Amino acid sequence: MLSGVLSLIVLSVVQLVLVVHVRNILVDSASEGATYAALADRTAADGAARTETLIRRSVSERYAQDVSAEEITVD
C-alpha cells in the first residue's frame, strides 16, 4: 500500500518537472526569437521563424504550430 502511494507521488513529481521544463524551453525560445526580431535588419516574421526553429529543435514540432509575432509601439 505504501509503495503504491510513494510510486504515485514520484510519478506525479516527475510529470510536473517535465511540464515545467517544457514550459521553460518555450519561454526561452520566445525570448530568443524576440531578441532576434529586434535586430536592426530583422522583422517580426524573422523572429517568429527563429522561435519555431528553436522549439522544433528542442521539444517537438507540435509545440511550434501556433507561433505568431507582431510589432507594437510602447509609449
Q: Per-residue pLDDT tens for 16-39?
A: 999 999 999 999 999 999 999 999
Residue of 72, 70, 34, 40 lying closest to 54 (CA atoms) = 34
**Consecutive H or E run containing 34:** helix 2-37
Sign of the torsion angle spanned by Cα atoms 8, 10, 15, 19: positive
The pLDDT, as a whole number, for residue 27 is: 97
The pLDDT, as a whole number, for residue 43 is: 94
pTM score above 0.75? yes
Q: Per-residue pLDDT tens for 6-17?
A: 999 999 999 999
The pLDDT, as a whole number, for residue 8 is: 96
Q: Per-residue pLDDT tens for 40-63?
A: 999 999 999 999 999 999 999 999
